[in-house]
């Protein structure tokens, strides 16, 4: 299917990148991830904003976000709070309501995604005029660091099974470090019905169905240093159910 690339192209100098950072109990990680984002965007000269979408964290994450807003300026750091988000897709919808960029970057706030890869995402998008650029742990120089053998096997196994069942022509479906054209992300969020960890996978599957073009950039994924992982047994069961649902309906 032919790619539905956006016909209206902004000049490079007019492009703006809105980074969406959904957070829950990321008090320790937020100052460093924001500092790194400011550093790498500052070095490259791209126009940007960081939108922190906090899900009612009881550890004071919102207060830290508000302090960072004072330090770096309200034009660069936007702090928003929600209550009891139903899904990561809901967080993106909420964040996009406040995003002024024509490109959206989604990433985790726990330092597992390093902002140093963002300039490469942007270059890849511009070189190929892609609708989506996805970070991949399973291609080229990509990799995972800090996980025990069990978690690596689960992740690799989930990705392998997904490749066989859905054949998405993308090497890493469960990753959550991506760059989207804003209108593409809006369309995909409207189409997706999955929640939790299946949501990222469905986004790529739906993108292929709709004919959007996808580029990839190898990334190094590093397990969180502070805080606890949100992945548990219930999430794994939900992933399997969601995968089977996608297989049956796409």
Taking only the tens place, the pLDDT of each residue in 53-85 is: 998 899 999 999 999 999 999 999 999 888 766
Q: Say what the pLDDT of residue 1 is.
A: 44
Taking only the tens place, the pLDDT of each residue in 123-142 is: 999 999 999 999 999 888 88
What average pLDDT does range 39-53 have in this prediction?
96
Classify residue 6: in a domain, yes or no. Answer: no
**Of the spans 16-30, 81-95, 138-152, which averages the highest pLDDT?**
16-30
Report the percent of the chain where pLDDT is more than 70: 80
**Comparison of pLDDT for 131 and 169, the residue scoring more:** 131
Classify residue 2: in a domain, yes or no. Answer: no
What average pLDDT does range 163-167 have in this prediction?
71
Give me the domain span that covers residue 16.
12-223+231-249
**Comparison of pLDDT for 175 and 166, the residue scoring more:** 175
What average pLDDT does range 241-250 have in this prediction?
65
Classify residue 64: in a domain, yes or no. Answer: yes
CATH number at residue 83: 3.90.550.10
Structurally, the chain folds into a number of domains equal to 1
Classify residue 181: in a domain, yes or no. Answer: yes
Classify residue 120: in a domain, yes or no. Answer: yes
Classify residue 115: in a domain, yes or no. Answer: yes
Beta carbons of 209 and 201 less than 8 angstroms apart: no
Classify residue 7: in a domain, yes or no. Answer: no
Least confident interval from 26-30, 33-37, 86-90, 101-105: 86-90
Taking only the tens place, the pLDDT of each residue in 197-238 is: 688 888 998 898 899 999 999 999 887 555 555 545 566 666
């Amino acid at each position: 299917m032919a790619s539905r690339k956006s016909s209206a192209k902004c000049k490079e100098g007019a492009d703006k990148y809105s980074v969406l950072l959904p957070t829950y109990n990321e008090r320790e990680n937020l100052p460093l991830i924001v500092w790194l984002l400011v550093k790498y965007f500052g070095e490259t000269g791209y126009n940007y904003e960081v939108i922190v979408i906090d899900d009612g964290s009881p550890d004071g994450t919102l207060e830290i976000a508000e302090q960072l807003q004072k330090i770096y300026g309200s034009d660069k750091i936007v702090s928003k709070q929600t209550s009891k988000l139903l899904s990561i897709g809901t967080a993106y919808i909420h964040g996009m309501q406040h995003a002024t960029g024509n490109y959206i970057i989604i990433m985790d706030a726990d330092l597992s995604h390093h902002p140093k890869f963002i300039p490469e995402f942007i270059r890849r998008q511009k070189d190929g005029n892609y609708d989506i650029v996805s970070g991949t742990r399973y291609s080229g120089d990509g990799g995972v660091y800090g996980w025990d053998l069990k978690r690596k096997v689960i992740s690799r196994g989930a990705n392998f099974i997904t490749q066989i069942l859905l054949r998405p022509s993308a090497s890493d479906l469960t990753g959550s470090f991506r760059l989207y054209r804003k209108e593409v992300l809006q369309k995909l969020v409207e189409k997706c019905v999955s929640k939790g960890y299946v949501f990222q996978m469905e986004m790529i599957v739906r993108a292929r169905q709709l004919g959007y073009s996808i580029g990839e950039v190898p990334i190094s994924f590093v397990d969180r240093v502070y805080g606890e992982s949100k992945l548990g047994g219930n999430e794994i069961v939900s992933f399997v159910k969601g995968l089977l649902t996608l297989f049956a309906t796409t």
